[in-house]
Structure 1
Amino acid sequence: MIHALAQELNTVLDNTALGPLLSDLGRRMFFPKGIIAQSAEAKESGRTANATIGMACMDGSPVTLPSIQKHLPFLTGPEAVAYAPTAGNPKLREMWKQKLTEKNPSLAGKNFSLPIVVPGLTAGISYLCDLFISENDVLLAGDPSWDNYALIIKARRNAQFLQFPMFSGKGFNLDAFRAVMNEESKMGKIRVLLNFPQNPSGYSPTKTEAREICSIIYNAAQKGASVMVWCDDAYFGLNYEPEIENESLFAFLADIHERVVAVKIDGPTKEDYIWGFRTGFLTFAGKGLTEEHYTALSKKVMGIIRSSVSCASTPSQSIMIKALENPDLKNEKKALRDMLERRYRKVRSFVDAKEGHPILEPLPFNSGYFMSLRCKTVSAEILRRKLLSSYGIGTIAIDNETLRIAFSSIDEDSIDTIYKAIYKAAEDLANE
């Protein structure tokens, strides 16, 4: 039995591309007019007293233990310990929306939703799976991919994770992407996840590739399919080569076709180097979607948040507001980005000098935190274990052929030494 509030939201969304894309859970989800909604009303109109929220207050503000407050000297009690609104701090949401257009000029003048705060990008992806993937539905993604995608999609949602080979030669495999999109379009709806810069490969599409990816998505919608594209932009902005498309695909997909819905999954976690803050955003866009549609969709997302973690961290959001207001932030970020690019250049130089190596072949990489080596004649897992036991070097075996190295976490002056050890270990294994 679907709750009346859920049905109200479904009625709003059913005349858009979102309707057929909702999962069974997505259709059941709603934001209740319960404690949170009533507390919000009391916050606005409870002039005499607000006895709605489960916090201890004095003089209208949450109390804070001195042993806690002394470590947060620049935050007030409400900024430090109060519950955040379910969809996030309104000021932070507005600030992030403005930043999206600044970083993606193609969004100027386009209609997209107010970002919703989620407790990290992983949670954002998990919430999208809850709302838009039913049991046995299909999500498309490149191969190789971050292992957490499969855990969320297959284990949590019991759905299918269909991967296409991401690379052809030294670039994005447009033919494989076109083929899988054409095939899935026959089912009438497509859900596809595109992660750039990609984890684990560290690849971002060129400007030419980005245009063709968008064209393939447009053509699938033109054939009658409802298409939802999840843009996992966790490492957005960390591009190290001039031919890379600097804007998110979200900016181009926001109004590309009436049957295309784009979702941007991003946040300061990687962009602003605050991994443990667990603060991310979900932003939606689609041609023909109105504020009424975005409001209904937001209430669905808020229902998922309310029924899982209730809200994201308050101090993290408060600190981010202060950081975004700081005029020094841009230069501070540039200094760290330049540091990462120097590490990339050293890795690039090393592996380029090893071109044609019989055992290890780098997957295309040009951005982000990572690069991966394809193990042609040895097992990536055995190589990982040898590097750890013989050299004390930690790496990740994504699968039996793919070894991921996070150059983001290697000091620049150690890169040559570490990569020499990686190639030496692979050669020793091959000769055993």
Structure 2
Amino acid sequence: MNPLAQELNTVLAGTIADSLFSDLGKRIYFPNGIIAQSGEAKKLGKTANGTIGMTVIDGHPVMLDSIHKYVPDLSEGELVAYAPTAGNPDLRNLWKEKIIEKNPTLKGKSISTPVLVPGLTAGISYLADLFLDNTNTLLAADPSWDNYALVCEARRNSTFHQFVMFKDGAFNLEGFEKAVKEEAKSGSVRVLLNFPQNPSGYSPTTAEAEKICAILKEVAEGGAKVLAISDDAYFGLNYEDSIFPESLFSRTCDLHPNILAAKIDGPTKEDFVWGFRCGFLTFGNAQMSEEHYQALVTKLMGVIRSSVSCSSTPPQSLMLRAMKEGTMDKQKAELRKVLEERYKIVRNFVDTHKSSVLEPMPFNSGYFMSFEVKGKDAELLRQKLLKEDGIGTVAIDSKTLRVAFSSIEKDKLTLVYKAIYKAAEAL
């Protein structure tokens, strides 16, 4: 094993992270190579800096006028220079402030500084690199976003287990508890919870969220090592007052020493900048110190360095400027109203229409809602809608049809849902 990996493992020895690492998580390190040496030279190389592979004139990276003219307000460094492996430090610190602002119970709790990753999918993939291999299992809801299985099974050769998400029109706490306790028999639990959930568009009530955390705490108290991943891609898009208003991360980050909490979030959905491919990964644990967090972040940097090297600079620069400007929250609130209005139209429609084929899954937040397709193949329904009505939907699996009301204009929603119900009955 590389001495740098051994050094990080020594720092993390005895921590919950050390107990949960995959084979790759144990081996990975951040090399003392070009990036590290370039950082030293940036601080100390006053005469000249011949470390970084950029073309520099008069102390600044060069940039073509044909590029700069489209974003004239940003400097060369903000547009074309390499970003640090872990992301722009000012943006990372500001995002941490915003996480605490949006999750007030995090105030005073020990969490890492968020690491910038190239999209939330990358964050999930990097967590899988660090903590999943063919000796363990990832637990998630059924239905789930198809990328979870792809990352878990195809990339990491791990096992993807699911629990039925709903029972009697609510979160299936009984099924969740049974699945978690079954996983705990192996000595560890790796669970990924996504709220608002893709594809169902559901977020737990405050009572459900507290029970979810109580279940995780119970198995941790029993000796199981727990990785609790919160995929917060659609955070804040809640349309009912009963929803737990914070991320589960705000509870799991110091719930028990045997629980390592990881939060994946970012502006792509929250701030309506989908193509920016800009996400953040944050860790929390009741007993990890700043030294521990830094060692864990360094391992994460090794994963980033060995895959994409670093994230794209322009999105980071644009987000930092926009967040500092102070008008984002007001603009986001207006767009959130648009989504909530669409949600209410869909809510009213499915509450007043019945079908022998379609059963709406519980939904109260986010971008989506889904139907359970009874006795028929969701893919057949998807194809029928597309070919005969020109309406695009997604068959998540054989029994789940997802509709993104976020991308349907409000004056078309009733037309679309009438067509979905009609097509389902025609099958």
TM-score w.r.t. length of structure 1: 0.98
Q: What CA distance in whole angstroms lies between the structure 1 residues aligned with 2:326 and 2:95?
A: 15
Offset, 1:74: 1.3
Offset, 1:15: 1.0
Instruction: Trace 1:199-348 onto structure 2 (pairs within 5 A).
Output: 199-348=198-347
1:132 aligns with 2:131: yes
Offset, 1:136: 3.8
Partner of 2:187: 188
Partner of 2:150: 151
Q: Of 377, 398, 410, which aligns to 2:375?
A: 377
Q: What CA distance in whole angstroms lies between the structure 1 residues aligned with 2:12 and 2:229?
A: 18
1:9 aligns with 2:25: no
Greater mean alpha carbon deviation, residues 39-48 or residues 400-409: 39-48
Q: Of 322, 338, 358, which aligns to 1:360?
A: 358
Q: What CA distance in whole angstroms lies between the structure 2 residues aligned with 1:170 and 1:47?
A: 65
Partner of 2:420: 422
Partner of 2:95: 96
Specify the SS of the correspondent of 2:140: strand
Offset, 1:377: 2.5
Offset, 1:133: 0.5
Q: What CA distance in whole angstroms lies between the structure 1 residues aligned with 2:147 and 2:253?
A: 26
Q: What CA distance in whole angstroms lies between the structure 2 residues aligned with 1:399 and 1:377?
A: 13
Greater mean alpha carbon deviation, residues 13-22 or residues 187-196: 13-22
Offset, 1:184: 1.1
Specify the SS of the correspondent of 1:176: helix
Offset, 1:405: 0.2
Q: Deviations over 1:55-95 (max 9, x none)?
A: 00111110000111111111100000000000000000000
Partner of 1:404: 402
1:395 aligns with 2:421: no
Offset, 1:220: 0.7
Offset, 1:257: 0.4
Q: What CA distance in whole angstroms lies between the structure 1 residues aligned with 2:415 and 2:135?
A: 46
Q: Deviations over 1:264-319 (max 9, x none)?
A: 00000100000000000000000010001000000100000000000001000000
Greater mean alpha carbon deviation, residues 13-22 or residues 191-200: 13-22
Q: Deviations over 1:184-241 (max 9, x none)?
A: 1111111000000000000000000000000000001000001011100000000000
Q: What CA distance in whole angstroms lies between the structure 2 residues aligned with 1:96 and 1:414?
A: 36
> Which amino acid in the other structure matches residue 381 of structure 2?
L
Q: Deviations over 1:348-383 (max 9, x none)?
A: 00000024x211010000000000001112210000
Partner of 1:80: 79
> Which amino acid in the other structure matches residue 410 of structure 2?
E
Q: What CA distance in whole angstroms lies between the structure 2 residues aligned with 1:131 and 1:95?
A: 25
> Which amino acid in the other structure matches residue 37 of structure 2?
Q
Q: What CA distance in whole angstroms lies between the structure 1 residues aligned with 2:135 and 2:257?
A: 26
Q: What CA distance in whole angstroms lies between the structure 2 residues aligned with 1:87 and 1:60?
A: 23
Partner of 1:175: 174
> Which amino acid in the other structure matches residue 333 of structure 1?
K
Alignment size in residue pairs: 427
Partner of 2:29: 30
CA RMSD between the two structures: 0.6
Specify the SS of the correspondent of 2:93: helix
Percentage of identical aligned residues: 60
Runs of 4+ more than 6 Å apart: none
Q: What CA distance in whole angstroms lies between the structure 2 residues aligned with 1:136 and 1:153?
A: 12
Q: What CA distance in whole angstroms lies between the structure 1 residues aligned with 2:89 and 2:44?
A: 18
Q: Deviations over 1:125-181 (max 9, x none)?
A: 000001101114100000000001101111011110000001111111000111111
Offset, 1:14: 2.0
> Which amino acid in the other structure matches residue 359 of structure 2?
E
Specify the SS of the correspondent of 1:204: coil
Q: What CA distance in whole angstroms lies between the structure 2 residues aligned with 1:257 and 1:408?
A: 37
Specify the SS of the correspondent of 2:42: helix
Greater mean alpha carbon deviation, residues 130-139 or residues 381-390: 130-139
Q: What CA distance in whole angstroms lies between the structure 2 residues aligned with 1:349 and 1:28?
A: 53
Q: Deviations over 1:105-132 (max 9, x none)?
A: 0000000000000000000000000110
Greater mean alpha carbon deviation, residues 229-238 or residues 7-16: 7-16
Q: What CA distance in whole angstroms lies between the structure 1 residues aligned with 2:132 and 2:72?
A: 43
> Which amino acid in the other structure matches residue 385 of structure 2?
L
